[in-house]
Each structure stands twice: as C-alpha cells, then as structure tokens.
Structure 1
Amino acid sequence: MTYCIGISLDDGLVLTSDSRTNAGIDHVSTYSKMHRCETNPDRSLFIMSAGNLATTQGVIHQIRRDVQEGAPRNLNSLNYLSDIAEYLGDVLVSRIRKHSEMAGFVPESTLLLGGQLKGRNPNLYMIYPQGNYITTSDDTRYLQIGESKYGKPVLDRFISHNTSLEDAAICSLISMDSTMKSNASVGPPIEVLLYKRDSYCAEHYRLDADHPYLLSIRHEWANQLYKGFRSMPRMIGSVLPDNISQCNSI
C-alpha cells in the first residue's frame, strides 16, 4: 500500500510520500515514490505514484526517454501544467493497456503531479489510471493518492491557502503518522519536498523510521491528542439522560 499527499498553497507546494511497497508480487519492501524530474530551468516538476510498481517504473522511464530523445510531447515541450498532466495520463494508459493484454490483469497506478512553469502558478494534478485528471480548488488545497482515509481529518482541519510551507509539511507528517498508526502497509522512510513559489528548486527531506524528528512528531502529536481528550467536558453530569431503563435483578 501507499500514501502520498500533495498540498497547494499561496507560497508553493508540499509533497509527502511513504516508501513501503508490496512485498509479495513485487518482492520489494521499500521504494521511493517521489520522482524529481530533470527539466529545463524554466520549470520544476515532481511526480508521486501509488499502485503497481512496474507500471510506475515504466511511466517514469518513458517520460525520461521522451525528454532525452526530444519527442514532440515531453516534459520540456509543453507549456501548461494541465498539458503535462494529460501527457502523463496518455503514457500511463498506454503502459497499463500493454501489460493488461500480456498479463491478464490490470496493473493500475495513480500519479500525483506537482510543479510550476515559469510565468504560471504552481499547482497539483491527480492522474487516474484511465488517463483523466483533477486538480485542487479554493476549497480543497490538497490531493491524496493511496491509503488516504486515515490521514484526511487533520488536513481538513488545518490546511488552507495561506498555510505556511513549514506548517503544511508538519501537517502532512501528522497525516502520514496517523495513516501508519492505522495501516501497517504504509511506512517509512518518509520523503518530504518543499517547493517555494518561483524558486524553481526544492528542499527534499528523507526521514527513516528512527529519525529523531519523525519520532518527536509522533510522540508530541499522540501526547497532545491525549491531553485534548482528557480535557473534554465530562458527559455524565453535564447531559441529562432521556430516560433511565429499569434495572432488573436476576
């Protein structure tokens, strides 16, 4: 299983991913799901992936080859991030279709594209296995792929358009920790990438399972949750019951 988060903010982008993969079919325990694309200086592009590992590798290899060979459609030739999302969707569908016919099953993957082209705003796109895609909105500043349900509440509570990059990164780590707590198939190393608007460079962090900062986030969040829970108003004595059932002795 996988969990990846992309957050779009006024100040830029925050991307966070785990590194645990299926240890059965793929026979791989960890694999980076965050790909920093080599592009022209006028753009910065990042891709995260969830799903079949072989399909994802095939897509990444194809888009790199298209850049190297100067294909008509490649990461450097397209002028809008939405066009790049559509291009990635076409490559993804092609890889899935090819191996579906060969293997008799559907090796699906989902991609999350983040980045900025010069003169345009940074943005995020989630690309489905069918090749279509969605982007963020004013009301929803983040996108998730993979095991998304456990880490969603904290994002809903704290992420807004004017959240700082650092606060969003911390929030994404709490979201990741909540997911790891409830699903053992999501796990470290955790990768975090901070992209500041108009910088065309990014800060990348890798946190192993025993990294002191990751452990401190886990401990402090659990501690504050417990304190918050214990400070809740007591129900008994504050709320009158609608009725009291008769207690029958045996």
Structure 2
Amino acid sequence: MNNRFESKTIIVTGGASGIGEACVHRLAQEGANVVVADLNADHAEKTVADVKQAGGKAAAFALDVSDPEAVKAMVTFAVETFGGLYGAVNNAGIGGPALPIGDHDIDSWKKVIDVDLNAVFYCMKYELEAIEKSGGGSIVNMASILATNGFATAPAYVASKHAIIGMTKSAALEYSKRGIRVNAVGPGFINTPLFKEKMDQETRDALVSLHPIGRLGETPEVAALTAFLLAEEASFVTGSYHLVDGAYSAQ
C-alpha cells in the first residue's frame, strides 16, 4: 500500500461494519486519519482499536446520521481532532422492511428516507464546508446497483439510492471550481457479515445468480474503488457513478 492519504482526514459513516469498515481499513492503510462514525459506539471503538493495532490512525464518533445536529458535531469532531477535513465516505444506511408500496408502513418509509437520503444531504452540507476550508478534497456517496435499477419490495431504499445519484451530480457541479470532487459508488450484493450470518443458503444462491460473474462481491473490492475515487489519481473524475457489481447492471 502507498501513502496517498498521508496527513489527510477522512470521515466514514457506517464505518464500524461491512463496506464501511473495509473502507476504514483501506484508507488507514494508505495513511489517512480516519473518523469511524457509526450508530454503534462499541463497534466503532473496536474498529478504531483494530486500525491502531495495525499501525493506522483513527478516532471513533458515535451518532445517528439522521440527526443533522449530530452530523454537524461529527464534522466538527473530525476537524478538531485531526486539524482539517479532506474527504468523506457517506456510507451509513438501512434496508427497511421487504414490502410492496401498498403494504409499506409510512413510518418505515420515513425512517429509510431519513437514514439513506436525508442523512447524506446533512453529511454533505457540513462536510463540503469543512473540506473547502481545508483546501479541497473529495467525497464518495455510497449508492447501490439499485440507484439505477428497480427492486420489488424495496421502494424506500430504491428511491433513496436513485436520489443520491442526482444529489451527487448536483454537488459536483456546484463544488468543482471550489476544489471538491463528488462521486458515487454502486455496489452489487456484497458478502457482508449480515449476509453471512442471517441469510439462508437458498436466498444467498438466488442473489448470486443475479450476478453474471457468479458470486457476491467482497467488501475490500468496494473499498478499493472508493479509495481510488477519493485519491488525487482520480482528479478528473467528478459527478459520476461507478459500479462494482459483477455485471449485475449490464444485463
């Protein structure tokens, strides 16, 4: 690993598990000061301990990303702890109940929209200001293959991810001349701990069959793409949406 993020501070929301945790470790390995932001304080602290044991630099911040004041405090914490902010991976999200629109509970709809969409707006609102003050940088919003595809029984999640693409493009147009790039990543179905622990084999096989590559993705594969988009090597890449989905969306 190189040190392309040496002395750069990057926030990762949902950073204590799954894709977020993989991003934390990848960025720390490449020299970043990583703020591990997560609803689960114990898991965030454990992830920070793992990073430090491996020789990296990280700090934990517990929050509910659907609370704008908590998000503002998160960004302030990052700046005060490490002296500035270079970038962010806005990754925190939830799935919601698997129900068709007509059967979907309104409160459940609102919760998914709050966490998966509104929270990304809150994050960017405060991150962009801090990144600009620090001299520029990069943001990656974690979308999904469902940002451009439908999926039965996931209306709120699909709507949120579609909207993230539009918000990402708008932010890129607004902040390109201010030295900030904004992109989105669209993972396919990824082999996270949730899939490993709670999914029966029949369901897992069905999901695998949706990917022409013949397997689920792995979290480090998403982290690798995310790190590239955050880095200076991607200096001409902004306002775009990048798939890591085993050809799911090519069908």
**TM interval, short-chain normalised:** 0.3 to 0.5
When Rg is computed on C-alpha atoms for both structures, the one with the higher figure is: 1
The structure in which a higher percent of residues are helix is: 2
- TM-score of the pair, normalised by structure 1: 0.32
Larger RCO, structure (CA 8 Å, separation 6 or more) = 1
